[in-house]
């Protein structure tokens, strides 16, 4: 099982070391991104999953589009509707980027070097890739 040690602040502002598995860190990142989507973007995904791969964090969100966005993507001038959805979502994410980067930094212990995202209006999915300043240190440890 892979374990990751991080220093966290306790309510008394003292640091303590907490061991978490890769799966726990991925779940915490997923929760942070869902919280961001709900609180900042106004709507959360139906399903979400995070993968830590070396110096990258990949987050896949399913079911992110509102009914209005689904209509824009499928009715009338479909090409324009898709472009509008992508533009608004990209711009909205960019404005809240610092919040996401802070969460990833706190949970992985690594700074975000770059963030890449795209939305599929055909499937209603969003993919977010965070490139970090180093490999997330996950140690194999028997328990």
Place of tokens 């961001």: 36
Tens digit of pLDDT for each residue in 1-54? 343 444 444 454 455 456 789 999 999 999 999 999 999 888 899 999 999 999
CA distance 82 to 74: 8
69 inside domain: yes
119 inside domain: yes
Can you give the pLDDT at residue 87? 95
In the chain, how many domains are there?
Answer: 1
Q: Do the Cβ atoms of 37 and 64 come closer than 8 Å? A: yes
Tens digit of pLDDT for each residue in 42-93? 889 999 999 999 999 999 999 999 999 999 999 999 999 999 999 999 999 9
The CATH number given to whatever domain includes residue 56 is: 3.30.980
Can you give the pLDDT at residue 20? 82
CA angle 127, 35, 122 (to 5 degrees): 30
Sheet holding 139-140, edge to edge: 15-21, 2-9, 139-140
44 inside domain: yes
Q: Is the pLDDT of residue 130 over 60?
A: yes
32 inside domain: yes
By DSSP bridging, strand 56-62 and strand 112-120 are unpaired
Which residues form the domain of 33? 21-138
Closest CA to 75 of 121, 119, 37, 140: 121
7 inside domain: no
The single-letter DSSP state of residue 11 is: T
6 inside domain: no
4 inside domain: no
5 inside domain: no
């Amino acid at each position: 099982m892979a374990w990751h040690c991080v220093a966290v602040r306790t309510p008394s502002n003292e640091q303590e070391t907490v061991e978490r598995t890769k799966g726990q860190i991925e779940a915490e990142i997923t929760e942070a991104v869902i919280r961001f989507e709900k609180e900042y973007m106004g709507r959360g995904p139906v399903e979400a999953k995070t993968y830590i791969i070396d110096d990258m964090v990949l987050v896949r969100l399913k079911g992110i589009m509102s009914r209005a966005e689904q209509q824009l993507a499928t009715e009338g001038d479909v090409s324009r509707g898709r472009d509008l959805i992508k533009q608004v979502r990209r711009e909205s994410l960019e404005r809240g980027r610092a919040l996401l980067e802070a969460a990833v930094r706190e949970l992985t212990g690594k700074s975000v070097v770059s963030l890449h995202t795209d939305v599929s209006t055909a499937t209603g999915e969003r993919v977010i890739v965070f490139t970090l300043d180093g490999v997330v240190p996950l140690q194999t440890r028997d328990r």
